[in-house]
Amino acid sequence: MLWTFLGFFLVGSAVAQVPFLGGCPKAETQPNFDPSKYLGKWYEAERYFAIFEFGGKCVTATYSLNDNGTVSVFNRQISSLSGVESSIEGLAFQKSPDKAKLSVSFPSLPVQFDAPYWVLDTDYTSYGVVWSCVDFSIFSTRNAWILTRERNPPVSVLEKAYKVLDKNGISRAFLVRTDQKNCHDDSANPESNQVS
């Protein structure tokens, strides 16, 4: 029993980083979600704490469509401790008739799992709110991201994202601001020309 619990906890920790007692809250996803409009580059404005992003700044996510209908995921960040840039490539795909409910996997990770990636709301041009929750019945692990098309979005854009979280009963107390200052110019990176 203990090993089963630890196994669930380790997988859950890898998928989403903030543990909560109880199951996942009911969250509404973007109706009539259009993945093609969501493609391109997004800047991470705020997020729940996640160990895989520890010490990361200048975080971006770039999404591009594959021929088979899946979505390529290219995440980048710079270590605020060493200044070293790192990236990871993944694959997003639909596991539900709801187009806004995706799963993401990262083949290079030592433990393979499909992480929920639910788009709660987006206007495609300024903000996107992403939610991930894994339910283990007596507890759940949760993560949330606010993504923006601008590296330093105006407050009005963030307020739209906050309203989405509030509407879904998702706590903003666990959000931390992503440092997007003194970032390298990534125009030379071919991934930056793809839709995030």
Whether this model's pTM surpasses 0.85: no
Q: What is the pLDDT of residues 95-149, one digit of tens each?
A: 888 899 999 998 877 666 788 999 999 999 999 999 999 888 888 889 999 999 9
Instruction: For each of the domains in the chain, give its residue range(s) and CATH number, in order of start.
Output: 2-193 (2.40.128.20)
Instruction: Considering only residues 163 and 17, tell me which one the structure prediction assigns the higher pLDDT.
Output: 163
Q: What is the DSSP string of 86-129?
A: EEEEEEEEE-SSSTTEEEEE-TTSSS--PEEEEEEEE-SSSEEE
DSSP state of 59: E
Element (H or E) spanning 161, and its range?
Answer: helix 155-167
Q: Tokens representing 180?
A: 């997007």
pLDDT at 4: 29
> Which residues have CB under 8 Å from 64's CB, separation 6+?
39, 71, 72, 74, 194, 195
Q: What is the C-alpha to C-alpha distance for residues 81 and 73, in angstroms, rounded to an integer?
A: 25
Q: What is the C-alpha to C-alpha distance for residues 133 and 115, in angstroms, rounded to an integer?
A: 8
Q: What is the pLDDT of residues 13-62, one digit of tens each?
A: 344 467 788 888 899 999 999 999 999 999 999 999 876 667 789 999 99
Bridge partners, residue 35, by sequence: none
